[in-house]
C-alpha cells in the first residue's frame, strides 16, 4: 500500500447474499477484463517506448477499456439500487389508505372523491399519495448520483435556511482560583436554499389505465424518472440557482457564485496541463482536504474522465483506478470511492473535471414535500396526460469539505 492510499475498505459497502449469481458473474467478468486491460496497457507502453504504434494493440486496448467501463457501470447501477432500498424504507405502511384509493380512482378514471379533496393544490393538481411519492424518490436515488452521496432535507415550504458556524469562539487558560472573564462568542452565517420546479408530462391511453395489471405507481415513476434525473443531475453540478439548485462547481474559487456562501469558495487546485492530470495532483487533492473529512471522501468525475484515469499508474506500475470487487462496493481511485457524475465536464482547457471530498457534509439536496399530479384527458385525446411537478433545490453546505481540480488554461 503506497503512502497515498487509506487503509480499510471504501465506505458504503452493503452486504448481499452470495446467491446473487447475476451480479457476482458481472463482478467476476469485470475482474478478468481489468487484468486483460492492465496487460494490454503494459504491451502498449512497450510499443510507445520502442516508438512503434501498433493499431491492433490500440484497438484491443480501447475495446477492453470499453468493456471494463460497461461492466463497472452495471455494478454501479446495482449498487445504486441497493442504496435506494436501504434509504427508501419501502416497507413503511401507507399514511392514508383512503386517500391512496381515491387517488388511484382519479388517476384511472378521473373520479374525484371526498378523500381526494384533502390533497388539492391551489396551483392545480393533487398531491400524490405517500407511497407514490416514495416510489418516485427511490427511483431518483437510483439514477441520480448526487442524491446517493449528498445530504437530503425535506421541507414543507419554499425556503430553507441553514446556519453555519464561522468560528470565532475564544478561550483561555486560567489558574485554579483565577477569574473567568467572558470570552468572545462564535459567529454564524446563514445559507439559504430555495426550490425550483421540475416537471414531466407523461401520457397513457385510457385502455392502459383501465388495465388492472398496470402498476400505476411504478409506471409514473418510470415516466418521470428520466426527465427529473437529467435535469437534477445537471443542476446539482453546475446549476445557477435561478429556479433550480445551485451546483457545487459554481462555488469554485474565482467562480461567479463563490461569494454566496458565508464560508467562502471551494478551494481549487490547478493542473499543469490543459488535458492531462498526474498522480501527484490527485494526491495533492487528497492531502489538501482536512483529515476530518477524508473518511467519507470520494472522487466525482464523468465517464470520459474515468476512462482517462483508468490508464494511470503509480511509480511501481500499479493502476490508480481499481474496479469493484463485491456487490455494494464502488470502484476506487487511489483507494477512495469513485462516483460517476455525468454532469461533470471533460478534461479540457480551463474546465473543472474532478471534485473530491465529503459530499454528505458538503452538499445538501432540498425536496419540498410532495409530488403533484394534474390529470389532463382533453389536451391530447385519446391520450390522458399527467402533468407531474416536484420542487427541488440544492446548494453547498460547507465548502471546506470539498476540493475541485481545474485544468490549465489554453
DSSP structure string for 101-162:
HHHHHHHHH----HHHHTTB-TTSSEEPPHHHHHHHHHHHHHH-HHHHHSEEEEESSSEEEE
Q: What's the pLDDT at 94?
A: 55
Provide the CA 217 distance to its chain's centre, in angstroms: 24
13 CA to centre of own chain: 16
Distance CA 252, CA 267 (A): 6
pLDDT for the residue 34: 94
Per DSSP, what are the bridge partners of residue 116? none
Report, as an integer, the average pLDDT of 33-37.
93
What is the predicted pLDDT for the residue at 177? Answer: 78
C-alpha closest to that of 8 among 402, 356, 329, 315: 329
Quick check: is 54 in a domain? no
This prediction has a pTM of: 0.82
98 located within any domain: yes
**Does residue 65 lie in a domain region?**
no
- What's the whole-number average pLDDT of the chain? 84
Q: Rounded to whole angstroms, how far apart are CA atoms 48 and 63?
A: 19
- d(Cα 279, Cα 300) in Å, to the nearest integer? 16
Q: Who has greater pLDDT, 285 or 103?
A: 285
State yes or no: pLDDT of 7 exceeds 70: no
82-94 pLDDT tens trace: 777 666 554 555 5
Q: Which domain holds residue 132?
A: 89-166+187-302+341-406
In a domain, 51, yes or no: no
Residue at 296 is within a domain: yes
Asked if residue 148 is part of any domain, the answer here is yes
Note the pLDDT of residue 339: 95
Is 237 a domain residue? Answer: yes
Q: Does 9 have pLDDT greater than 50?
A: no
Lowest mean pLDDT among 151-160, 241-250, 297-306, 318-327: 151-160
Q: Tell me, rounded to whole angstroms, the distance of Cα 244 from its chain centroid.
A: 16
pLDDT at 238: 92
Domain count, the chain: 1
Domain membership flag for residue 247: yes
Confidence bin at 401 (pLDDT 50/70/90): very high
Average pLDDT for 267-271: 94
Confidence of residue 123 (pLDDT cuts 50, 70, 90): low
Q: Confidence band (pLDDT; 50, 70, 90) for 3?
A: very low
Q: What burial letters (b/e) apply to 124-149, b meaning 16+ CB within 10 Å?
A: ebbbbbbbbbbbbbbbbbbbbbbbbb
- pLDDT score at 141: 82
* pLDDT for the residue numbered 104: 87
Amino acid at each position: 500500500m503506497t503512502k497515498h492510499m487509506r487503509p480499510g475498505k471504501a465506505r458504503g459497502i452493503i452486504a448481499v447474499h452470495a446467491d446473487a449469481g447475476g451480479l457476482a458473474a458481472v463482478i467476476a467478468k469485470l475482474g478478468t477484463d481489468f487484468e486483460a486491460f492492465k496487460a494490454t496497457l503494459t504491451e502498449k507502453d512497450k510499443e510507445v517506448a520502442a516508438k512503434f504504434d501498433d493499431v491492433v494493440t490500440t484497438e484491443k486496448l480501447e475495446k477492453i477499456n470499453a468493456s471494463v467501463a460497461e461492466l463497472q457501470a452495471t455494478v454501479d447501477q446495482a449498487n445504486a439500487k441497493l442504496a435506494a432500498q436501504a434509504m427508501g424504507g419501502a416497507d413503511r405502511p401507507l399514511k392514508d389508505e383512503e386517500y391512496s384509493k381515491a387517488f388511484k380512482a382519479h388517476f384511472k378514471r378521473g373520479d374525484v372523491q371526498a378523500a381526494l379533496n384533502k390533497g388539492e393544490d391551489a396551483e392545480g393538481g393533487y398531491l400524490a399519495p405517500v407511497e407514490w411519492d416514495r416510489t418516485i424518490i427511490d427511483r431518483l436515488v437510483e439514477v441520480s448520483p448526487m442524491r446517493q452521496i449528498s445530504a437530503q432535507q425535506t421541507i414543507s415550504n419554499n425556503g430553507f435556511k441553514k446556519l453555519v458556524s464561522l468560528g470565532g469562539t475564544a478561550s483561555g487558560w486560567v489558574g485554579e482560583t483565577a477569574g473567568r472573564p467572558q470570552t468572545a462568542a462564535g459567529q454564524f452565517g446563514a445559507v439559504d436554499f430555495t426550490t425550483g420546479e421540475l416537471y414531466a408530462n407523461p401520457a397513457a391511453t385510457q385502455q392502459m389505465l383501465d388495465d388492472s395489471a398496470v402498476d400505476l405507481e411504478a409506471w409514473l415513476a418510470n415516466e418521470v424518472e428520466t426527465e427529473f434525473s437529467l435535469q437534477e443531475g445537471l443542476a446539482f453540478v453546475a446549476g445557477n440557482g435561478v429556479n433550480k439548485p445551485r451546483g457545487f462547481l459554481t462555488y469554485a474559487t474565482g467562480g461567479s457564485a463563490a461569494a454566496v456562501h458565508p464560508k467562502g469558495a471551494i478551494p481549487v487546485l490547478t493542473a499543469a496541463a490543459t488535458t492531462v492530470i498526474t498522480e501527484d495532483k490527485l494526491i495533492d487533492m487528497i492531502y489538501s482536504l482536512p483529515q476530518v473529512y477524508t473518511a467519507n471522501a470520494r472522487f466525482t468525475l464523468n465517464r470520459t474522465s474515468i476512462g482517462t484515469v483508468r490508464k494511470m499508474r503509480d511509480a511501481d506500475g500499479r493502476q490508480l483506478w481499481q474496479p469493484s470487487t463485491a456487490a455494494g462496493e464502488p470502484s476506487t481511485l487511489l483507494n477512495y470511492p469513485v462516483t460517476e457524475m455525468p454532469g461533470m465536464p471533460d478534461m479540457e482547457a480551463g474546465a473543472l473535471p474532478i471534485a473530491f471530498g465529503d459530499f454528505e457534509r458538503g452538499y445538501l439536496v432540498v425536496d419540498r414535500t410532495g409530488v403533484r399530479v394534474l390529470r389532463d384527458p382533453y389536451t391530447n385525446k385519446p391520450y390522458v396526460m399527467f402533468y407531474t411537478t416536484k420542487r427541488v433545490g440544492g446548494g453547498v453546505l460547507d465548502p471546506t469539505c470539498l476540493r475541485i481540480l481545474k485544468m490549465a488554461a489554453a
